[in-house]
């Protein structure tokens, strides 16, 4: 069922009149003053004016909470142009509406996280059926807004079942407002434990409804066996200064944790994240698998961060990627809407012609089992080291390099929390904290603490890989965009020497934890390039032959199901030990999202992805007893 339950502003309502209507009905901004975070649940995003108003009030308030979460549902999202048109009536909101529209794309059914104000204003948008989305949500709301439609016209929306579901997301004292004063809504809310008041409107304001969740009974929370226990910010040690560690450090520091980051290398991004440049492309599958959905959410999170912290065309670029499909894999989901704003589609004639002419791919496409290539409009490349450095620049993060952690030691139990000591091979304490995040790639397995009878390890696999790269000498033989599908080729990025370079990756050597480069791998990489882009390979043959093609190798870390591990290791036995690893071959897509997911679990915040998907990434799924 598609719903449009918008808490609409009456058309002639001035902003000065609308503001109290929206804010005061939920006791804002006074209620959020000095709070660490505020979580708003809004049913019916509509034109987004409500979100813009709350965002603007947050910006203007010196007592604002550190984080503002706005969780909203929408059955059929409007086009960005329609959002802008609605906001033009309110010039004060227009600059915010422009920012919203910049991120307003790829809103397929499911959960999307849009981030503003350097990640302090987080919009979690659920597209689809409200009841189903409420089930998939994980929020304890501080304020709730309901749409102002008429229950007579659309009785299914506020049936008792939905209102009960809504009440489950409220704490005692959560305030609710609605533009609808329908008696059935008032009765329904009262039965669910709300104290309800009908507020008369003074023209042009309409009557509206205010309510406060204060049931006569003790509300029961549904048991969620896998849900991590919430923490409040204290000290945290993150082990590993690669993409995973840097992203977790940034997300935790943003929430007030004092983060100490430790790494065995002499500088940040010394492990797999030292890759010169890497590719980001959404994964596609006919059943829109977990990996496919996660890859899109991850891409969105990485590009959001890159847009505000890195230099476009120097550190990153997202102009699209072409994926060849020699083995026929990577089909598009058949349930995707035919028209609209897609992440991925069949490549068009221009894109196919571009690789045929520049890279001599014509003879290949006519042969064998290759099916039409895909075009990933949001694909691109990014430099991992720049991304890591930008994440580590978050205030509140302190890094120490050249320190190898040997193990964790529990020193004391303070209430439900432990203090963990991070020790070196001689047993000396390097740092201590209430929270430790293992983000040491494959080495995370060996750092799993053994406490009392708890004897388990993370099940991780190392996969060594090598890439080749060099200076571009003949740009005419390069495709105009990156191409993947049999290895991946990035035709032009600016190297540290200021020259334009190409990069071709990568080899896969399972169960190998050795990051030394190998001459034989260069040959394998060249053979992959010959299949992927024969014309380009032709012009690079001498570069490979005479050793001008440089080599870089690193070790990926994967889990058995190829999905990241994010969350507590064992909340009961090892309180305060979290994991973020197994980013596999997609660390650039996953890291920023996984950092936010880890922080969301820790603080009982709205999750940035569907709850079921987040649960399937929990680190506890892949440990085995020794």
Ligand X SMILES: Cc1cc2nc3c(=O)[nH]c(=O)nc-3n(C[C@H](O)[C@H](O)[C@H](O)COP(=O)(O)OP(=O)(O)OC[C@H]3O[C@@H](n4cnc5c(N)ncnc54)[C@H](O)[C@@H]3O)c2cc1C
The three-point CA angle 491-497-500 to 5° equals 20
Q: Is 617 in the site for ligand X (CB under 6 A)?
A: no
Q: Is 182 in the site for ligand X (CB under 6 A)?
A: no
Window of 8-16, 147-155, 586-594, 616-624 that interacts with ligand X by CB under 6 A: 586-594
Separation of first and last alpha carbons in the chain: 49
Among 236, 262, 355, 549, binds ligand X (CB under 6 A): 262
Among 46, 119, 179, 278, binds ligand X (CB under 6 A): 278
Asked whether the beta carbons of 113 and 608 are under 8 A apart, the reply is: yes
Window of 184-192, 272-280, 535-543, 600-608 that interacts with ligand X by CB under 6 A: 272-280
Q: Is 245 in the site for ligand X (CB under 6 A)?
A: yes
Placement of tokens 């890497």 in the chain: 278
Q: Is 589 in the site for ligand X (CB under 6 A)?
A: yes
- Cα 277 from Cα 484, distance rounded (Å): 14
- Cα 520 from Cα 541, distance rounded (Å): 15
The residues pairing with 554 across neighbouring beta strands, listed in sequence order, are 465
Asked whether the beta carbons of 485 and 532 are under 8 A apart, the reply is: yes
Q: Is 295 in the site for ligand X (CB under 6 A)?
A: no
- Cα 145 from Cα 40, distance rounded (Å): 8
Q: Which of 135, 129, 136, 145 is nearest to 189 (CA)?
A: 145
Q: Which C-beta is closer to ligand X: that of 115 or that of 582? A: 582
Q: Which of 265, 146, 152 is nearest to 194 (CA)?
A: 146
Q: How far is the CB of 268 from ligand X (least distance, A)?
A: 8
Window of 451-459, 473-481, 537-545, 580-588 that interacts with ligand X by CB under 6 A: 580-588
- The enclosing H or E element of 589 equals helix 587-603
Q: Is 242 in the site for ligand X (CB under 6 A)?
A: yes
Among 237, 272, 391, 617, binds ligand X (CB under 6 A): 272
Among 138, 162, 385, 466, binds ligand X (CB under 6 A): 466
Q: Is 241 in the site for ligand X (CB under 6 A)?
A: yes
Window of 94-102, 196-204, 243-251, 323-331 that interacts with ligand X by CB under 6 A: 243-251
- How far are the Cα atoms of 477, 479, 530, 557 from residue 356, in angstroms, in the given order? 10, 9, 13, 35
Q: Is 261 in the site for ligand X (CB under 6 A)?
A: no
Q: How far is the CB of 506 from ligand X (least distance, A)?
A: 4
Q: Which C-beta is closer to ligand X: that of 80 or that of 558? A: 558
Structure tokens at 6: 């918008």
**Near ligand X in 519-558, by CB under 6 A:** 554, 556-557
Q: How far is the CB of 467 from ligand X (least distance, A)?
A: 5
CB atoms within 10 A of CB 69: 21
Q: Which C-beta is closer to ligand X: that of 53 or that of 405? A: 405
**Near ligand X in 18-37, by CB under 6 A:** none
- Cα 371 from Cα 377, distance rounded (Å): 19
Among 3, 26, 97, 279, binds ligand X (CB under 6 A): 279
Placement of tokens 């001599």 in the chain: 360
Window of 196-204, 236-244, 357-365, 618-626 that interacts with ligand X by CB under 6 A: 236-244
Q: Is 505 in the site for ligand X (CB under 6 A)?
A: yes
| Interaction mask 435-454, ligand X, x per CB under 6 A | ----xxx-x-----------
Q: Which of 137, 40, 39, 286 is nearest to 613 (CA)?
A: 137
Q: Is 275 in the site for ligand X (CB under 6 A)?
A: yes
Q: How many residues bind ligand X (CB under 6 A)?
A: 43
Q: Is 44 in the site for ligand X (CB under 6 A)?
A: no
- Cα 181 from Cα 164, distance rounded (Å): 18
Q: Is 458 in the site for ligand X (CB under 6 A)?
A: no
Q: Is 585 in the site for ligand X (CB under 6 A)?
A: yes
Q: How far is the CB of 131 from ligand X (least distance, A)?
A: 36
Among 96, 123, 146, 405, binds ligand X (CB under 6 A): 405
The three-point CA angle 412-417-422 to 5° equals 55
DSSP letter assigned to residue 159: -
- Cα 489 from Cα 478, distance rounded (Å): 10
Cis? peptide before 370, omega within 30° of 0:
no
Note the residues at the interface with ligand X (CB under 6 A): 239-245, 262-265, 270-273, 275, 278-280, 384, 404-405, 439-441, 443, 465-467, 488, 505-506, 554, 556-557, 581, 583-589
């Amino acid at each position: 069922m598609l719903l449009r339950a918008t808490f609409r502003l009456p058309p002639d309502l001035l902003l000065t009149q609308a503001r109290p209507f929206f804010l005061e009905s939920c006791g804002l901004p006074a209620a959020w003053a000095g709070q660490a975070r505020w979580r708003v649940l809004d049913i019916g995003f509509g034109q987004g004016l409500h979100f813009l108003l709350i965002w603007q009030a947050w910006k203007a308030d010196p007592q604002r909470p550190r984080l503002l979460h706005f969780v909203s549902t929408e059955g059929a999202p409007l086009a960005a142009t329609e959002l802008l048109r609605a906001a033009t009536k309110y010039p004060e909101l227009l600059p915010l509406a422009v920012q919203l529209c910049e991120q307003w794309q790829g809103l397929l059914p499911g959960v999307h996280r849009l981030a503003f104000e350097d990640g302090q204003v987080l919009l979690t948008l659920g597209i689809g059926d409200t009841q189903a989305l409420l089930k998939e949500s994980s929020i304890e709301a501080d304020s709730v807004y309901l749409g102002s439609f008429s229950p007579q016209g659309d009785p299914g929306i506020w049936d008792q079942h939905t209102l009960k579901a809504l009440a489950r997301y409220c704490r005692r004292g959560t305030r609710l407002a609605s533009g609808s004063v329908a008696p059935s809504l008032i009765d329904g809310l009262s039965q669910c434990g709300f104290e309800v008041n009908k507020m008369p409107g003074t023209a042009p304001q309409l009557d509206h409804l205010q309510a406060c969740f204060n049931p006569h009974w003790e509300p029961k929370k549904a048991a969620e066996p896998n849900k991590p226990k919430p923490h409040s910010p204290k000290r945290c040690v993150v082990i590993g200064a690669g993409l995973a560690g840097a992203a977790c450090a940034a997300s935790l520091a943003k929430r007030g944790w004092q983060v100490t980051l430790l790494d065995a290398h002499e500088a940040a991004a010394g492990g797999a994240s030292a890759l010169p440049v890497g590719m980001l492309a959404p994964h596609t599958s006919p059943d829109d698998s977990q990996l496919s959905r996660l890859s899109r959410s991850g891409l969105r999170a990485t590009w959001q961060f890159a847009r505000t912290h890195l230099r476009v065309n120097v550190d990153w670029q997202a102009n699209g990627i072409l994926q060849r499909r020699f083995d026929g894999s990577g089909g598009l989901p058949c349930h995707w809407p035919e028209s609209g704003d897609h992440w991925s589609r069949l490549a068009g004639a221009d894109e196919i012609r571009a690789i045929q002419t520049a890279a001599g791919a014509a003879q290949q496409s006519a042969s064998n089992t290759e099916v039409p290539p895909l075009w990933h409009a949001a694909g691109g490349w990014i430099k991992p080291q720049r991304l890591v450095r930008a994440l580590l620049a978050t205030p509140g993060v302190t890094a120490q390099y050249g320190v190898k952690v040997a193990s964790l030691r529990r020193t004391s139990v303070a209430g439900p929390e432990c203090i963990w000591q991070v020790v070196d091979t001689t047993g000396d304490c390097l740092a201590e904290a209430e929270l430790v995040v293992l983000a040491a790639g494959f080495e995370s397995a060996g750092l799993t603490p053994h406490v009392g009878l708890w004897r388990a390890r993370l099940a991780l696999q190392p996969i060594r890989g090598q890439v080749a790269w060099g200076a571009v000498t003949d740009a005419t033989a390069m495709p105009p965009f990156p191409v993947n599908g049999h290895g991946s080729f990035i035709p032009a990025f600016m190297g540290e020497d200021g020259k334009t370079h190409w990069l071709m990756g990568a080899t896969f050597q399972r169960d190998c934890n050795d990051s030394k480069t190998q001459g034989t791998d260069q040959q394998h990489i060249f053979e992959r390039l010959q299949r992927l882009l024969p014309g380009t390979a032709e012009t690079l043959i001498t570069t490979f032959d005479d050793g001008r093609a440089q080599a870089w190798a690193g070790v990926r870390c994967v889990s058995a199901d190829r999905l990241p591990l994010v969350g507590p290791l064992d909340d009961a036995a090892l309180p305060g030990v979290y994991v973020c690893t197994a980013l596999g071959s997609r660390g650039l897509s996953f890291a920023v999202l996984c950092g936010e997911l880890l922080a969301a679990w820790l603080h009982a915040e709205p999750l940035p992805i569907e709850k079921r998907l987040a649960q399937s990434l929990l680190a506890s799924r892949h440990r085995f007893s020794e």
